[in-house]
Amino acid sequence: MESVPKVREILLDEEIDEQEFVGIINSIYKQDCYIYAIIPEWDKELFNELSNDFILINKIPFPLKRIFPRTIGFLGFVKDRTKQYIYEFYLRSSTIGFLVFSEFDVSQHLNNINKKNIDIYKIFESNKIPHITFGPDGQWLHIVEY
């Protein structure tokens, strides 16, 4: 029998501040939070802020749904022990192509992501790994548990 994911949604206030957002994530992930993302190359500000904490796995040329012309995406992750970056990623959730929060390290699976197989969400779904994604325009959190 296949297990069905349990999905909860948390509606986020339009004016949610960093402290409130971090509090929500802390209530879900008590320890570490891994942030998996494909960051567009033009988001230099985010790269500068992440400095050496972003672990780059691969560069992927791709057209994101919201981005034209084609761009390069930097696939990687941050192990955010202190949850210092989660709010910045949340603020950019509508411009970052793929963004997932999880308490589990799935970095070994990121090598399977390429131009033809760009969907990092499938890593979590196919391996039944609990995770958080964002609704359109960052209006809510989708919390998926197995």
Residue 61 has pLDDT above 80, yes or no: no
- Check residue 22 and give its pLDDT: 96
pTM equals 0.89
Between 71 and 65, residue with greater pLDDT: 71
**Class of residue 18 by CB neighbours under 10 A (exposed 0-12, middle 13-18, buried 19+):** middle
Chain-centroid distance of CA 4 in Å reads 22
Per-residue confidence (pLDDT) for residue 100, from 0 to 100: 96
